[in-house]
Structure 1
């Protein structure tokens, strides 16, 4: 193994490996239409284009239909960027909804779509240039590769299989594990009996990296913010000015780790 390589490379999926913006919007719109009983089943012109950059505020899948609800109600993009947590909470309370129910609706729509039109569903998810080749390269090296994501692990597995990448289920930690990403990183360190400094974690959500950064036992984990993922200009600027978090480009990511 190269000196400047990790023992464990932990990767987020959406926003690091896979660009699912088109699928996100299509599934979110269907879920929104079902939950709020939309009369018009066709999304308004321009809604998807407004939704795409705002994906950066989403932490878990159930928020996506709520984001569409917020946009339909005329809440401004600026408000959403600044106050999304409160806005999403208020929408749920106003309509007496639970996040778990919306999540179930979202997953149910995905399952039905996959069962009825797998090729159509898969075609809406696109891998960032070079990421599939990077995954193959890591998987065949001495580096232990793990995917840690808030997406359902079974969806991740299906998408990778589509492109000929077979990862064992134990290497994919999806939403179903119901544990924070930092806890999973701790478990991997313990499992492999390595020091935290031998773990590299690539994520597109700055807040997730900041949580890891604050934990004393994980202070040596190397943290990377994926600049091509679902984050904002201000978050990327914050990463540039953070000694612990390194902003990495897609061009760097797909190269050998010495280029990071």
Structure 2
């Protein structure tokens, strides 16, 4: 039996801008694996450009490795040519470095866990909530709508960040919960899902193509890590969510 109405949100690129933390952690994870690597402490422009194509944490570490190369495929091809064949390039880089995604993901999470233990406030400060987003999430209760977070980030780290912003979702699912469409299907067994809010168009398209989720309203946030053409010619059922629209009652979202 459905217990309540639930609006589901992605985290990175929707609720919080974690670009500083992404590079900070990815750089340290790579230096754990390759102490000899040379990487600047400030965020490289190439990393900012690559971010819209990164889906899971381990990819950030792989991008740091590619950026560290003086004459690797990223430097030879340029960012836009590289992302034009992103998945194949990632597979080729993993094979060349002799890495598995699980190694990179584990290394990244150890770096983050150590950072939280050593300087929790400093680590939290590397993340900035998008303006007015925490306040809007809290206001959903006034509309009788619960909200949850569904992210590819680790659940423990996401919980730390939400707590630091004073946010308490009705439910929190990290990468440990499995693929987002499968999590949404499970949520639909317990809640009346009002929609899913993301900053990755491919994820939204996959959700809408999943049996049982074809009618789920989906929104692509205008302020996230979007690829240049993401907001153009959106398919039926996926709508662009502007800041002004987000500030209005859910019933008025369009």
Given the two structures, how large is their TM-score scaled by the length of structure 1? 0.87
In structure 1, the partner of 2:109 is: 107
SS of 1:230's partner is: coil
Contact 1:32 1:38 in 2 (8 A): no
Residue in structure 2 matched with residue 222 of structure 1 by the alignment: 217
Deviations 1:131-173 (A, max 9, x none): 11012112454212111000111111111211222335xx000
Structure 2 unmatched ranges of 5 or more: none
Q: 1:157/1:139 Cα in 2 relative to 1: closer, same or farther (>3 Å)? A: farther
SS at match of 1:8: strand
Q: Which runs of 5+ in 1 are unaligned?
A: 1-5
Q: How far apart, in 2, do the equivalents of 1:236 and 1:223 lie?
A: 13
CA contact (8 A) 2:146 2:169 kept: no
Indicate the structure with greater helix content.
1
RMSD of aligned residue pairs (Cα, Å): 1.9
Match of 1:185 in 2: 184
Kept in 2: contact 1:13–1:149 (CA 8 A)? yes
What is the Cα deviation at residue 95 of structure 1? 1.5
Specify the SS of the correspondent of 2:88: helix
> Are the equivalent residues in 1 in contact too, given 2:49–2:79 (CA < 8 A)?
no
* CA drift at 1:226: 1.1
Report what 2:226 is aligned to.
231
Closer, same or farther: CA 160–139 of 1 in aligned 2, 3 Å: farther
Q: C-alpha separation between the residues in 2 aligned to 1:34 and 1:80? A: 25
**Worse overlay, 159-168 or 90-99:** 159-168
Whether 1:30 and 2:28 are equivalent positions in the alignment is yes
Q: Report if the CA contact (8 A) 2:245-2:252 is conserved.
A: yes
1:107-146 to 2 correspondences below 5 Å: 107-139=109-141, 141-146=143-148
